[in-house]
Structure 1
Amino acid sequence: MQTGSGVQHSEKYEKGTSSFQIWFEPFLGETNYAAPTYADYLEQDFPVVMKDGCTIKSIVGGSSPVQLVADAKMWDVTISAGQAFEMMVPDGYSIAGLVVEGPSTWCSFNETRSVEPREFVICEGDAAGLLRVGADVGGDTRLILIQVPSVLPYPSYKEVKIRLKVEKQK
């Protein structure tokens, strides 16, 4: 869904449904006046790669059918028990991760930490670096990874809103 200048919507989930919802903030100067769009995709529409004990599904960007005006990529990754997922984080980008299930160990930018299911992790970097997520030997780990610029190259909605308030007060 791309909302243009605003959105109002409702959702209905059937029993057993799980979901993850995130709103990406694009450059307002390009998107604020764009016509809203909506598309439905089926699970089989998303490309899946099997590599080194990991299943990697592209959700946003790259070879995914979902292409946004925001500079973002997103993956759904399942790491087999005792295995590890590795990816290079490009210079100027950060990774946010939501651990859906299974405990894991995260190593990025010279920091290592244990992460439990339902924890949200942010790996901020100002230079390229390797992210390594290892699944515990006791079971698989599933996570959602999101790559975004560490610093937006344009004003964010919050910055624009603050600037407008300051100008109104003058």
Structure 2
Amino acid sequence: MLIQRYNVDQQGVGQFDGGKITEQKPIGFPGEGSEVKRVGPLFYWAWAKSEHEGYIPLHPHQGFEIITYVISGKAEHGDSLGTRSIVGPGGLQVMQTGSGVSHEEGFVGPDMQGFQIWFEPHLREALRRKPTYQQFEHEEFQLDVHDGVRVKEILGDDSPVALETDVHMWDIHINHPFIYNQHIGKGRSVSILVLEGRGRMNETSYEAKEFFVIEANELEEMNIQPEAETRLIVIEVPTTVNYPLYRK
């Protein structure tokens, strides 16, 4: 099992609306400073923050499946399909952009935090599909609470969200001194963003804001041993896919 660790300086940065929205980018576009350019079909990952409020004007997308997951505050959405929506903490916005859609975004605080994440399906097939938008509230997701660990499945077998891309995603809270274990299947890669906390991930230490990529050649086990209350966003995808991927 290969564990790669990336501190804040190895991640990209960005901003919108004159700096009202700032972004830490574990996976970014060329020129943004991210050492990780993609993990399999996980194409882009930005951690957005807005102390008060910031807006991104109407802009187009095609092909990619794009989610916005809200940690605190709220995310506003409008698009060329006629959608106007607002989602609060724990909620999820999902765009399957298909043949093309334009959207605008608002990140509204106080102290708004959220993630915009892009997944890459087979783009040639995706471009033949009509674009769609859906949103899901926190209460619609399955929550598994046991032994000081809380696991929310955002994407996967027991999630209400259906994507074309093969992806699983969890929001995980671990209270010290409890330990969390998760299996990683052969040929799968796991990307982990540490929102808060510190501890050890197998034999590697972790701290808040760090980003990790784990590749499993065989069935492996990820072991999280916190030294303080820890919150992680974990995304699992196939390391390779059987369709061509877009070159950034």
- Length-normalised TM-score, structure 2: 0.59
State the secondary structure of the residue aligned to 1:29: helix
2:240 aligns with 151
- Structure 1 residue 142 and structure 2 residue 231: aligned? yes
Q: Name the aligned partner's letter for residue 153 of structure 1.
A: N
Counterparts of 1:87-102 in structure 2 under 5 Å? 87-102=182-197
Distance change in 2, residues 1:84/1:34 (3 Å):
same
Unaligned runs of 5+ in 2: 1-94
State the superposition RMSD in angstroms. Answer: 1.4
1:31 aligns with 126
Deviation readout 1:39-89 (Å, 9 max, x if unpaired): 111111111001232100000111111121000000000001111111111
**Quick check: which one's strand share is greater?**
2
State the secondary structure of the residue aligned to 1:9: strand
**Quick check: which one's helix share is greater?**
1
Larger relative contact order (Cα-Cα within 8 Å, sequence gap ≥ 6): 1
Instruction: From the CA coordinates, give the structure whose radius of gyration is larger.
Output: 1
Q: Is the 8 A contact 1:3 1:37 kept in 2?
A: yes
- Length-normalised TM-score, structure 1: 0.85
- Structure 1 residue 121 and structure 2 residue 212: aligned? yes
2:96 aligns with 2
Q: How far apart are residue 29 of structure 1 and its match?
A: 3.1
2:152 aligns with 57
Sequence identity (%): 38
Q: Is the 8 A contact 1:101 1:117 kept in 2?
A: yes
Q: Is the 8 A contact 1:126 1:150 kept in 2?
A: no
Unaligned runs of 5+ in 1: 162-170
Give the paired residue count. 153
2:172 aligns with 77
Counterparts of 1:36-51 in structure 2 under 5 Å? 36-51=131-146
Structure 2 Cα separation of the partners of residues 83 and 6 of structure 1 = 45
1:104 to 194, 199, 217: 199
Q: Is the 8 A contact 2:187 2:215 kept in 1?
A: no
